[in-house]
Amino acid sequence: MALVMKPLTITVSTVDGGLTVGRHILHLPVDTDPVAALNFATNYAAQINAITDAEVVSAVVGLPLYEDTYPSAPVTSDVEDKGVFLMLSAGDNKSALAIPGIDDAVLIPAGEPGGGIELDMDNAEVQVVVYALVDGLDVEDSQGATVTVAPCDSRGSDYVAVRTAYKQNRASHKRTIRRG
């Protein structure tokens, strides 16, 4: 099992006068440089605006990775069980990240304060995720240099801490994968 690159995606969203959103997806080759993909998306969105009476409201570039074998998650797993991380960002912004299918093994044990609900922040696997969210990961860029990439909130502010993390069961947009 390994995550494999798939073609880059550009999802272009348009909105009409009734505020209905329509989307179409375009793919770019796997080896397309991400900066070139962003520049392509910017120009392509302008070209779409020229041929539609709706308005382009976004062009999102995605770099998808997919598992190359059929999923083997345990039958007991449930994507509606979310691990919700309440994040603090620079400028005291607050946001939430919900990770589907949280494993009960990373919760505080039942019988203890917060047991069965709160994520165990002393759990080594949880600490690795928190480190990746707050401090980032060292990765190789398109030039072969090692850079630190850290996620941010929707305003572009760096995450500075996890305020709390807990399990919550809430609906997902479920898609069923067909076998075979």
Q: Which residue, 89, 10, 86, is CA-closest to 47?
A: 10
pLDDT, tens digit (0-9, with 9 covering 90-100), for 50-89? 888 788 999 999 987 788 777 777 788 888 889 999 999 9
pLDDT, tens digit (0-9, with 9 covering 90-100), for 90-112? 988 899 988 988 999 999 998 89
Q: Parse the chain into domains and list their residue ranges.
A: 3-67, 81-169
What CA dihedral angle connects 137, 101, 124 and 87, to 10 degrees?
A: 60
